[in-house]
């Protein structure tokens, strides 16, 4: 697998979220940890997000942009797709991919708690393997920010680790360097409702440690 080099130029913003700075190895490592299923998991995430041609889409905590690029495939040439991440190294790798592929996706250094976008802007917001990098109060603040930038009826699609309930799941998550997780994607419902989201749907990703939650921003047109 190609492992691009990156030269970080921007400073990382202050956040209580856990940044990943080892960006050039991230795609390779994710491929290994998902037993070669990372691409299929990302494609399934993009499909579950129900992105349509022409949609305006944000990938929060986009990392190296693997899901963001699939979102662009679905939104097409008339869609606008953005990715933000506080790690300049991750954003650097993502930017290299769009530069090499001549793809129109806007990657920026930024944080979920202060999204650099206007109110009611996005049809779809994505969050993939990011929520578990945030402390609980930052999840609450971040979901409120996502609600602010979502259009009325806009979709929020979160894919992340499930709270491990069996010994096997606990062992798998520990193997994936996330030992000690007390909550999971299935525990976000209350915070989503408080932030203003409704029509919450949950499900599995077809890879035991991972699940998803999808919801709609409930606000007036
Ligand atoms: C495990 S990576 C997931 C990257 C990508 N979404 C994916 O699916 O591969 C978690 C990402 O969350 C980012 N992150 C940490 N704190 C954040 C914050 N406050 N706002 C947005 N992203 C944050 C990290 O820098 C990291 O790139």
- Helix residue ranges, H only, the chain: 26-33, 38-48, 66-75, 88-101, 136-149, 167-175, 189-195
Domain assignment of residue 4, yes or no: no
Evaluate whether residue 179 is within a structural domain.
yes
The reply to whether 18 falls in a domain is no
Q: Which residues of 149-188 are buried (b: 16+ CB within 10 A; e: fewer)?
A: bbbeebbbbbbbbbebeeeebbebbeebebeebeebbbeb
Q: Is residue 12 part of a domain?
A: no
Cα first-last separation, the chain? 46
pLDDT tens for the chain, 221 residues: list them.
Answer: 344 444 447 899 999 999 999 999 999 999 998 999 999 999 999 999 999 999 999 999 999 999 999 999 999 999 999 999 999 999 999 999 999 989 999 999 999 999 999 999 999 999 999 999 999 999 999 999 999 999 999 999 999 999 877 777 777 767 666 655 678 999 999 999 999 999 999 999 999 889 999 999 999 88
Look at the chain and report how many structural domains it folds into: 1
Residue 188 structural domain: 23-217
* Ligand 1 binding pocket mutation candidate from 128, 130, 135 (most atoms within 8 A of CB): 130
In the numeric block, which tokens belong to residue 176?
Answer: 């994936």
Ligand 1 interacting residues, C-beta cut-off 6 A: 15, 17-20, 30, 60-63, 66-67, 85-87, 90, 111-113, 128-130, 133
The residue whose CB lies within 8 Å of the most ligand 1 atoms, and thus the one to mutate among 61, 65, 159, is 61
**Residue at 95 is within a domain:** yes
Which two structure tokens, joined as six digits, stand for 129? 């393997």
Is residue 152 within 8 A of residue 219, CB to CB? The reply is yes
- The answer for 93, left when phi > 0, alpha when psi is -120 to 50, beta otherwise, is alpha
Q: Is residue 7 assigned to a domain? A: no
Is residue 11 included in any domain, yes or no? no
10 occurs within a structural domain: no
Output the residue whose Cα is nearest ligand 1's atom 25: 19
- Centroid of ligand 1 to alpha carbon of 132 (angstroms): 9
CATH number of the domain encompassing residue 137: 3.40.50.150
pLDDT at residue 177, as a whole number: 60
């Amino acid at each position: 697998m190609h492992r691009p080099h990156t030269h970080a130029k921007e400073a990382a913003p202050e956040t209580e979220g856990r940044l990943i700075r080892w960006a050039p190895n991230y795609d390779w490592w994710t491929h290994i940890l998902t037993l070669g299923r990372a691409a299929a998991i990302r494609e399934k995430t993009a499909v579950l997000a129900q992105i349509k041609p022409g949609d305006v889409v944000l990938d929060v905590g986009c990392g190296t942009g693997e899901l963001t690029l699939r979102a662009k495939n679905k939104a097409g040439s008339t869609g606008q797709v953005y990715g933000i991440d506080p790690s300049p190294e991750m954003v650097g790798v993502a930017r290299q991919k769009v530069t090499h592929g001549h793809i129109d996706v806007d990657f920026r250094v930024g944080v979920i708690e202060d999204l650099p976008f206007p109110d009611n802007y996005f049809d779809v917001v994505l969050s993939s393997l990011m929520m578990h990098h945030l402390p609980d109060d930052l999840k609450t603040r971040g979901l409120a920010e996502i609600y602010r930038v979502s259009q009325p009826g806009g979709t929020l699609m979160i894919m992340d680790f499930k709270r491990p309930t069996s010994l096997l799941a606990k062992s798998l998550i520990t193997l994936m360097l996330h030992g000690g997780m007390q909550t999971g994607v299935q525990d976000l419902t209350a915070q989503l409702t408080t932030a203003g989201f409704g029509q919450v749907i949950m499900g599995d990703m077809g890879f035991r440690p991972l699940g998803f939650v999808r919801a709609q921003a409930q606000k007036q047109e």
